[in-house]
C-alpha cells in the first residue's frame, strides 16, 4: 500500500508552526493516520483492498475500492476509524487514572482523538457518520432520496459551522470545515471501480497468467485477495475444477463476499 502527502499539508504545518502550533498539528496528523489505519485493517478483513493513504491538509484519507460491499459491512468499515479513536481515549483515560502525572504529556493526544471521534460521527457525508447514515437511508429508501437527504444535511451542518465561525470570534477552522461539507454536498459521486480486474487495453497488450491451486471451500473474499492487476487470474482446485478471472468477476457480482466460489458451476 502506498503512502502519499499532499503538498498543501506542508503549508498547513508551516502555518501552524508560525503560530506556535507545530506539535499540536503533528499530533493531529498522526491521530488522523491511526484513524485511517482502522479503516484499512477493517477493509482487509472484509476482503477489500486499500491501495493508498493520503495525508491531506485537513487530515488523512484512505483510498479503498469497495464496490459491491454489503451495507452491513460498509457500516462496520465506516465505524472502524472512530473505534480506533475511541480506544485511544479509553486507554488514555485509564492511564490517567493509574498514573495521573502522564496527563501533562498526553492531554493533547486525548483531545485530538476525542475531537476526531466526535466530528467523524456527525451524520454528514463523507464523514464516517454520514456513511453510516447513507447505508441506513439506502436500506429504507431509494438511493436518490438518500443522496438528497444527505446533501441537505451537509448544507445544514455547513450553515451551523459558519455561524460558529462568527460566534467563536472568527475561528477559521469552522469556516474550512463548512466549506469542506459544502463541497461534498455539491460534488457528484464518482463511479465505483472494482479492484484489480484486467482492462481490455491490458488484454490487448498481453498479460501473464497466474494460476493458483486453491481449496474448493475458497470464499469470494479469499478470491478477491488473489486478484492481481498485472496478471490474469485462474483458480484451479486439486480435483480439476477451474474458474477464470472473467468468471470470477461474474461470481462476485452475483454472490456475497462470504459465499463459496466453487459452490456451483459457473454458467
Mean pLDDT for 129-137 is: 89
| Whether the model pTM is above 0.85 | no
Would you state the pLDDT for residue 191? Answer: 40
DSSP state of 150: H
Q: How confident is the model at residue 98 (pLDDT cuts 50, 70, 90)?
A: very high
Sole residue written with cell 479469499: 222
233: enclosing H helix or E strand = strand 231-236
Mean pLDDT for 215-223 is: 84
- Dump the DSSP string for 16-73: HHHTT-HHHHHHHHHHHHHHHHHHHHHHHHHT-EEEEEEEETTEEEEEEE-TT--HHH
Would you state the pLDDT for residue 206? Answer: 65
Would you state the pLDDT for residue 192? Answer: 36
Give me 88's grid cell: 485511544
Rounded to whole angstroms, how far apart are CA atoms 53 and 34? 11
Would you state the pLDDT for residue 90? Answer: 95
Residue 107 sits at φ, ψ, to 5 deg, of -65, -40
Would you state the pLDDT for residue 69? Answer: 72
Would you state the pLDDT for residue 1? Answer: 67
The string of pLDDT tens digits covering residues 187-196 is 654 443 344 4
Q: How confident is the model at residue 161 (pLDDT cuts 50, 70, 90)?
A: confident
Residue 221 has pLDDT above 60, yes or no: yes
Would you state the pLDDT for residue 265? Answer: 53
| Of 119 and 12, the one with more pLDDT | 119
Could you tell me how many residues make up the chain? 267
The string of pLDDT tens digits covering residues 44-53 is 887 777 778 8
Amino acid at each position: 500500500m502506498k503512502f502519499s502527502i499532499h503538498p498543501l499539508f506542508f503549508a498547513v504545518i508551516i502555518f501552524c508552526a508560525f503560530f506556535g502550533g507545530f506539535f499540536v498539528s503533528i499530533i493531529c496528523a498522526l491521530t488522523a493516520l491511526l484513524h485511517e489505519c482502522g479503516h484499512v485493517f477493517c477493509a482487509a478483513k472484509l476482503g477489500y483492498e486499500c491501495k493508498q493513504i493520503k495525508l491531506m491538509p485537513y487530515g488523512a484519507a484512505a483510498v479503498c475500492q469497495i464496490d459491491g460491499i454489503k451495507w452491513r459491512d460498509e457500516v462496520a468499515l465506516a465505524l472502524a476509524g472512530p473505534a480506533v479513536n475511541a480506544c485511544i481515549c479509553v486507554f488514555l483515560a485509564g492511564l490517567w487514572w493509574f498514573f495521573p502525572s502522564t496527563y501533562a504529556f498526553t492531554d493533547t493526544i486525548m483531545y485530538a482523538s476525542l475531537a476526531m471521534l466526535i466530528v467523524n460521527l456527525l451524520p454528514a457525508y463523507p464523514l464516517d457518520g454520514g456513511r453510516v447514515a447513507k447505508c441506513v437511508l439506502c436500506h429504507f429508501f431509494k438511493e436518490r432520496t438518500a443522496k438528497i437527504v444527505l446533501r441537505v444535511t451537509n448544507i445544514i451542518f455547513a450553515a451551523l459551522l459558519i455561524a460558529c465561525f462568527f460566534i467563536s470570534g472568527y475561528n477559521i477552522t469552522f469556516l474550512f470545515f463548512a466549506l469542506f461539507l459544502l463541497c461534498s454536498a455539491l460534488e457528484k459521486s464518482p463511479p465505483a471501480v472494482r479492484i484489480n480486474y484486467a482492462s481490455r487495453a491490458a488484454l490487448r497488450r498481453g498479460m501473464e497468467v497466474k494460476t493458483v491451486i486453491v481449496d474448493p471451500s475458497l470464499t469470494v473474499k479469499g478470491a478477491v485477495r488473489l486478484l492481481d492487476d498485472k496478471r490474469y487470474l485462474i483458480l484451479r482446485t486439486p480435483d480439476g475444477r477451474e474458474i477464470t478471472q472473467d468468471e470470477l468477476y461474474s461470481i462476485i457480482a452475483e454472490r456475497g463476499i462470504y459465499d463459496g466460489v466453487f459452490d456451483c458451476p459457473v454458467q
